[in-house]
Structure 1
Amino acid sequence: MSVSRDKVSEGVEAEDNESMRQGRDLEGYVARRFMEATGLKVRRSNQMYRSQEHPFMIADVDWIVVGENTGLECKTPSPYSSGKWKDGEIPPHYLIQCYHYMAVTGKREWYIAVVLLGQDFKYAKITWDEALIQNLITIESDFWSNQIVSRNMPDPDGSKACDEVLGCV
């Protein structure tokens, strides 16, 4: 619901908090740890990408792997969420973000690196999954057409974000 509000509002709200700032500030550290662990070199992208085929799909890519057709997403989640990363698992919302970036950029692989503060460093390589990406494009296209273009607010879902949006109307 908050995504829908952001897409149809006239202004740009720059949401920021301490957790977000720390994530931005520590991103370079995560990228350096990734380079040390893999021997690969990365550079900041600092570019917003837009899908040629689906122009409503955009991605704010932070890092590109030099010499490969891949990107890197760096994460610094709360140490309390370390269980979500056990046994090589990637939390679904981060995984979907990487697949979205692949769908937008056309890159067939994406890395994700995570520093669980004071606990661990991990990384994984995610490869193109045609069925998943086509499903993601379908869902995003439906959302764009039926929620954003038509300006139909999604039904309330009981989430905190929903409560915040409903508190603004």
Structure 2
Amino acid sequence: MNWTLHRLCAADAARIESHLLRLDTGDRSLRFGGGLVTDATIRAYCASLRYESDILLGIEDPRGDVVGLAHGCVYEAGGQRRVEGAFSVDREFRGRGLGSRLMAMLEVRARASGAQALVGMCAVRNLPMRRIFERAGLVLRREDDELHGQRELLAADRRAAHCAWT
């Protein structure tokens, strides 16, 4: 199947919302960090996305539906620019490497943005996300029922990514 991966913008808000609303109860809990995630919660999340500063990447199927989403939340902590990744893939498209493709492109975009670190967090029970973080080289540490991952992005790598993206 042909997939298209690209940066999403405010014009894609309805397609992002549609993708997230298709997630079942368990997948919503894993994606948003636990608990009951209602349709209203997803709509509020979508309304709060910061398209101008965060990194939003989507994988589209041939019909143009977003079937995979990466949200790279850009923030400052301890004098460092960081990008925290969160991912979701429609159930019927899992196991095809789409999450890994989203992570790889998020890393490229994080480097190009000048981020010093790529971080992620997931529930210990979220084995697919854990594998994606491990393959991307994030060092994982457990805190209660969550895994926190981080990988420093070297300055030379950030310069190379900026040149490759622009």
Question: What TM-score, normalized to structure 2?
Answer: 0.41
Question: What TM-score, normalized to structure 1?
Answer: 0.40
More strand by share: 2
More helix by share: 1
Structure with the greater alpha carbon radius of gyration: 1
Higher relative contact order (CA 8 A, sep 6+): 1
